[in-house]
Amino acid sequence: MAAPEVFTIAQVPLTAHAFNADRSKLITSLNTNEAQIYGRQGNEWKPEVTLSEHDKLITSIDWAPNSNRIVTASQDRNAYVWSQTTGADGNSVWKPTLVLLRINRAATYVRWSPKEDKFAVASGARAIAVCSFDADNDWWVSRLLKKPIRSTVLSVDWHPNNVLLAAGTADMKARVFSAYIKDVDSRPSPSVWGEKLPFNTICGEYASPAGGWVHSVAFSPSGDVLAFASHDSTISIVYPGGPAVITVRNSTLPYVSLTWTSEDALVAAGHDCQPVLFSGSAEGWKAIGSLDDAKSGAPLTPVSTGSSSGGRFASAGVGRLGTNEAFARFRNADTLGKSSATPGSPVSGGDSSGDTELMTVHQNTITSVRPYEISANGNVAKVSTSGVDGKLVIWNVSVPAGTGGLSSRLGGMHLR
């Protein structure tokens, strides 16, 4: 089983990331109002094009694989749809088209629909703008889903039938709406969520037991199951018409992003800085384990972090004094409270050496997890994650053998 591919794109947070259809190009925003397209060269991503049109921070990006269009949403209340055309000199150029969303607050999240003829923009205006292209006027038209949203919409996900839309909001509810647009969609066949659904019909409204903002929602590949992650550290799975909402309570920090890998498994990631695999069925769900094998992350001993701390411990590790705990304590006393060169990492709790690197691959919150590679049987084999530490990591969707979870590893460390 291969180790995850780790790419350090920047030293600043990556607000969002998306790949093109064949995964040769990556678009991401480095916490600014510009988006950068990178091209894969061997084991690295080289910056190629910068898309700058937005006035304020870009909050979300999505790349439509079939029509090769990019949509970016920003705090400046706008969204731009970018199409690739060949310029006069033969180079490809990305041309932006402004979409007037008619919202009066920032856009927070954007996703193309499965057929790529519509996209949904979640916003702080307590509304979701569903945008479609009006060919007669050569213009993107937006319709707002408003009732009964009472706070910022944090994330949206489309159902495979191109009509239903799930939304997670800060009013602690996950809802399923119908985003049926008259001249764009054909009448959808009845599903478990309902039939004959005019625009803005609510097909379901769900909450988790302790409440908390719903950070992320996702439909399963068939569309018959809905999962959402809330700020009360739970993952809830909804089988409409079946049993009540199944909740998986975790003793970890909350998850902020999730994606389904097959009809009975999903990967969630968030403030714990590692992606975790969950699996189950209508009978019950549980966490299987972390995709992060901490052994391959930053080592546990204090001596080998020389490069990240600027060579401070370069001479350590030689002879008996190097591993002496008392010696290490005095040596590290003057680094207490100093932030190390490692980007954005807090001192991890029970680590007596003062090493400020986390044991996970990601050194800070993972903000986005997306499917990267689909295997032959239709399940997602690899996922990509990006986070506040500026890293982009591609994981295999399988729990490394022998990982009893990070807690057992930490326990093992103290026994030294």
Q: Which residues bind another protein (CB under 8 A)?
A: 100, 102, 134, 136-139, 141-143, 182
Q: Minimum distance between the CB of residue 256 and another protein, rounded to whole angstroms? A: 32
Report the residue number, 86 or 137, with the smaller CB distance to another protein: 137
Report the residue number, 80 or 313, with the smaller CB distance to another protein: 80
- Helix, strand or coil, per DSSP, at residue 272: coil
CB count in 10 Å sphere of residue 203: 20
Strand (E) or helix (H) holding 210: none
Report the residue number, 132 or 257, with the smaller CB distance to another protein: 132
- Greatest CA separation for the chain: 79
Q: Minimum distance between the CB of residue 130 and another protein, rounded to whole angstroms? A: 11
Sheet holding 234-238, edge to edge: 214-219, 226-230, 234-238, 246-249
Nearest CA to 159 among 109, 223, 102, 116?
Answer: 223
- Helix, strand or coil, per DSSP, at residue 358: coil
Report the residue number, 198 or 350, with the smaller CB distance to another protein: 198
Q: Minimum distance between the CB of residue 64 and another protein, rounded to whole angstroms? A: 22
Report the residue number, 183 or 283, with the smaller CB distance to another protein: 183
Report the residue number, 103 or 383, with the smaller CB distance to another protein: 103
Burial of residue 46 (number of CB atoms within 10 Å: 0-12, 13-18, 19+): exposed
Q: Minimum distance between the CB of residue 115 and another protein, rounded to whole angstroms? A: 19
Residue 144 sits at φ, ψ, to 5 deg, of -100, 130
Q: Minimum distance between the CB of residue 98 and another protein, rounded to whole angstroms? A: 10
Residue 258 and residue 235 in contact, taking contact as beta carbons nearer than 8 Å: yes
CA distance 195 to 191: 6
Q: Minimum distance between the CB of residue 142 and another protein, rounded to whole angstroms? A: 6
- First vs last C-alpha separation in the chain: 29
- Helix, strand or coil, per DSSP, at residue 177: strand
Report the residue number, 142 or 162, with the smaller CB distance to another protein: 142
> Which residues are paired to 258 by β-bridges?
268
Residue 304 sits at φ, ψ, to 5 deg, of -90, 20
Burial of residue 325 (number of CB atoms within 10 Å: 0-12, 13-18, 19+): exposed
Report the residue number, 46 or 182, with the smaller CB distance to another protein: 182
Which pair of tokens denotes residue 12?
């600043």
Q: Minimum distance between the CB of residue 242 and another protein, rounded to whole angstroms? A: 35
Q: Minimum distance between the CB of residue 411 and another protein, rounded to whole angstroms? A: 58
Residue 278 and residue 270 in contact, taking contact as beta carbons nearer than 8 Å: no
Which pair of tokens denotes residue 225?
């199951």
Report the residue number, 99 or 397, with the smaller CB distance to another protein: 99
Q: Minimum distance between the CB of residue 149 and another protein, rounded to whole angstroms? A: 18
